[in-house]
């Protein structure tokens, strides 16, 4: 009897899913495994069971295609997460049904491609003896166990392109342009696209901000002859009062979105300036994957097969350059990896004069590269820290 591996894609779609499928299928063929793909995520595993045979021939040409040929869903009977850290137990009859499907089809290992919520389901399957392997997928790049998730690079490429386009129209009409991007409770997309796209203000969940500081940055730019401003807002950024803008859904995670409108409206009210809002939404999930995402997704697919071959079930493949390693799925889920407010990317942004809305415009870069006292030479001059600060400020002023 031939060996067989199953694969499914669950949760929100993103560029690179088809590259994972292709990488899995081609690796299976090389290693002597048959491969079947379950349709519509976890829903295809049970009543009615829906799957297709996958071969290198049937996956020709999908490497550069967005979306997923297997279909996906983030709703339905297998929803396992209702909040950032809230797990919902999958009904026992569903778990038993999946077990029966796996046994009847002689599946040696089931590769589950998904984000935090989808992998929480895979973890429950593992706890019930189903041979699963996880592959991390999210444009938000917020899984703690892996340095990168495929889909993220493609998403920031989309957001950066939007900022490039907004830059020209903002400059032409001397407007304030607000771009709302995805990312849920992490600001990776906003931070990276904001830096790459020449944003002037970046608002993210990890750094508290105020309208006063945002408006001060806009007025400060105008005083320097810069009559337009680009504001990038992460959908999960908290309002100054600590609230989150979104739509509550009973039994499900909050549907984030709308903070861009709140920011745009308040800027117009306070400054009496013309402001415009652009919400990228699902554009960030669509289109062809970037080269980086194609390579990363292909590696994930191939190494997921390796985990199955080695019998390392209940683990998730992860990228920790230069290694492609794995961790228990239980260590990967429910732990959101957020932007470090004092990390190198934030430091670089501040050094460029980008505001995070937490400081007055004339203090954005103040002390950004402070030397930590514990790192000073034991017999060094007492004024070394002050000298370094003055040197940085002078360099930025020029």
pLDDT at 79: 74
Give, for 265, the enclosing helix (H) or strand (E): helix 259-271
pLDDT at 369: 85
pLDDT at 1: 57
Average pLDDT (148-158) is 95
pLDDT at 375: 38
Average pLDDT (140-169) is 94
pLDDT at 140: 92
Residue among 140, 142, 153, 200 flagged as catalytic: 140
Query: Looking at the predicted structure, is the pLDDT value of residue 142 above 60?
Result: yes
pLDDT at 55: 96
The topology (CATH level 3) of 154-286+340-363 is: Rossmann fold (3.40.50)
pLDDT at 385: 39
Domain-by-domain residue ranges, the chain?
Answer: 3-150+289-332, 154-286+340-363
Dihedral of CA 57/10/336/94: which sign?
negative
In this structure, whether the domain defined by 3-150+289-332 belongs to CATH 3.55.50.30 is answered with no
pLDDT per residue as tens digits for the range 78-98: 875 544 455 678 889 999 999
**Contact (Cβ atoms closer than 8 angstroms) between residue 220 and residue 355:** no
Is 140 catalytic? The answer is yes
Which among 136, 227, 152, 259 is positioned nearest to 196, based on CA atoms? 152
Tokens 């990312």 sit at which residue?
183
Backbone angles phi, psi at 204, to 5 degrees: -130, 160
- Strand-pair partners of 34: 4
Q: Kindly indicate the confidence band of residue 193, based on its pLDDT and cuts at 50, 70 and 90.
A: very high
- Rounded Cα gap, residues 270 and 214, in angstroms: 11
pLDDT per residue as tens digits for the range 14-61: 999 999 999 999 999 999 999 999 999 999 999 999 999 999 999 999
Domains 3-150+289-332 and 154-286+340-363 share a fold: yes
pLDDT per residue as tens digits for the range 347-383: 999 999 999 999 999 999 988 887 443 433 333 334 4
Query: Looking at the predicted structure, is the pLDDT value of residue 389 above 50?
Result: no
Average pLDDT (299-326) is 95
- Rounded Cα gap, residues 165 and 177, in angstroms: 11
This prediction's pTM: 0.87
pLDDT averaged over the chain? 89
Instruction: Report the range out of 210-214, 249-253, 320-324 with the highest average pLDDT.
Output: 210-214
pLDDT per residue as tens digits for the range 229-262: 999 999 999 999 988 888 877 656 778 889 999 9
Average pLDDT (147-176) is 95
69-85: buried (b, 16+ CB within 10 Å) or exposed (e) per residue? Answer: bbbbbbeeebbbbbeee
């Amino acid at each position: 009897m031939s060996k067989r591996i199953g694969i499914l894609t669950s949760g929100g779609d993103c560029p690179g899913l088809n590259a994972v499928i292709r990488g899995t299928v081609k690796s299976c063929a090389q290693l002597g495994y048959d491969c079947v793909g379950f349709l519509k995520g976890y829903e295809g595993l049970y009543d009615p069971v829906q799957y297709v045979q996958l071969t290198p021939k049937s996956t020709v040409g999908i490497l550069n295609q967005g979306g997923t040929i297997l279909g996906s869903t983030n709703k339905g009977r297998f929803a396992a997460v209702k909040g950032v850290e809230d797990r919902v137990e999958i009904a026992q009859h569903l778990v038993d049904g999946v077990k029966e499907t796996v046994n009847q089809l002689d599946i040696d290992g089931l590769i589950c491609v998904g984000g935090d919520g989808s992998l929480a389901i895979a973890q429950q399957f593992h706890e019930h003896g189903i041979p699963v392997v996880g592959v991390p997928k999210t444009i938000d790049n917020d899984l703690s166990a892996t340095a990168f998730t495929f889909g993220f690079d493609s998403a920031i490429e989309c957001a950066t392109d939007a900022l490039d386009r907004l830059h020209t129209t903002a400059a032409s009409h001397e407007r304030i342009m607000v771009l709302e991007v995805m990312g849920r409770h992490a600001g990776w997309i906003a931070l990276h696209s904001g830096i790459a796209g020449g944003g002037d203000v970046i608002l993210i969940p990890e750094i508290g901000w105020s309208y006063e500081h945002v408006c001060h940055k806009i007025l400060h730019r105008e005083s320097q002859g810069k009559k337009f401003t680009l504001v990038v807002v992460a959908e999960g950024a908290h309002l100054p009062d600590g609230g989150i803008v979104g739509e509550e859904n009973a039994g499900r995670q909050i549907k984030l979105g709308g903070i861009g409108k709140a920011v745009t409206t308040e800027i117009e009210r306070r400054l009496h300036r013309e402001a415009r809002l652009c919400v990228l939404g699902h554009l960030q999930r669509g289109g062809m994957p970037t080269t980086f995402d194609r390579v990363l997704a292909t590696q994930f697919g191939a190494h997921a097969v390796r985990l199955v071959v080695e019998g390392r079930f209940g683990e998730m493949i992860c990228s920790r350059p230069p290694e492609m390693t794995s961790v228990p799925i239980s260590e990967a889920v429910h732990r959101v990896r957020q932007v470090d407010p004092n990390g190198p990317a934030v430091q670089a942004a501040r050094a460029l004069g980008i505001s995070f809305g937490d400081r007055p415009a004339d203090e954005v870069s103040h002390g950004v590269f402070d030397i930590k006292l514990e790192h000073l030479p034991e017999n060094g001059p007492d004024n070394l820290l002050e000298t370094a600060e003055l040197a940085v400020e002078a360099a930025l002023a020029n």
